[in-house]
Structure 1
Amino acid sequence: MLQRIITFFERYSFGVCTYLGERFNVSIAKIRLFFIYSSFLAVGFPLIFYFFAGIVLDIRNYVKRKRTRLTDF
């Protein structure tokens, strides 16, 4: 059951932790733990940052897909 929950969040999450982990060469698990612990300490501010970063990354990926489609012609 726990594995299904973890798989669900990894598949349908925004990919913010993965992007930050690859960008700064840090373990993804450490970044996830940082977001979890800091959200308890900072009363949810990191969650707001996480959702904002997720929206920005989705828009960025959408724009990249549109650019490649325009140049394929």
Structure 2
Amino acid sequence: MNKFKQFIEWHVFGVCTAIGERMGIATTTIRKYFIYLSFATIGSPVIIYFFLAFWMNVKRYVLNARRNPVRYL
């Protein structure tokens, strides 16, 4: 069950998980505050969330291209 949870967290953007691991804060706490902020500000943190998800995806793609440049030619 833990592997399934980890798979879902990292493949459904994983923004809160990445922020939690980088800052040393529990992922559930970050998710809880994100939900509270979304309700309080009528959804504006959702735009920030999607921007961070896009940035993480681009970063992951660029790092993979650097590690294995022959694969993408």
TM (norm. structure 2) is 0.80
Question: Could you tell me how far apart the structure 1 residues matched to 2:18 and 2:10 are?
Answer: 14
**Structure 2: distance between partners of 1:68 and 1:10:** 24
Residue by residue over 1:43-65, the C-alpha shift from the partner in whole angstroms, topping out at 9 and shown as x without a partner, is 11111100100000000000000
Do the aligned residues in 1 keep the contact of 2:20 with 2:27 (CA within 8 Å)?
yes
Q: Which fold has the larger relative contact order, with Cα–Cα distance below 8 Å and residues 6 or more apart in sequence?
A: 1
Equivalenced residues, count: 67
Task: Give the TM-score taking structure 1 as reference length.
Answer: 0.80
Cα distance in 1 for residues equivalent to 2:65 and 2:26: 31
Runs of 4+ in 1 over 6 A off after TM superposition: none
Identity of aligned residues (%): 39
Q: Which runs of 5+ in 1 are unaligned?
A: 1-5
Tell me, in whole angstroms, the C-alpha distance in 1 between the residues paired with 2:60 and 2:17: 14
Looking at structure 1, the residues matched to 34 and 22 of structure 2 have their Cα atoms a distance apart, in angstroms, of 16
What are structure 2's unaligned runs of at least 5 residues?
none
Q: What is the root-mean-square deviation in Å for CA atoms of aligned residues?
A: 2.4
Pairwise CA distance, 1:68: 0.3
Instruction: Mark the CA change 1:21 to 1:10 in structure 2 (over 3 Å): closer, same or farther.
Output: same
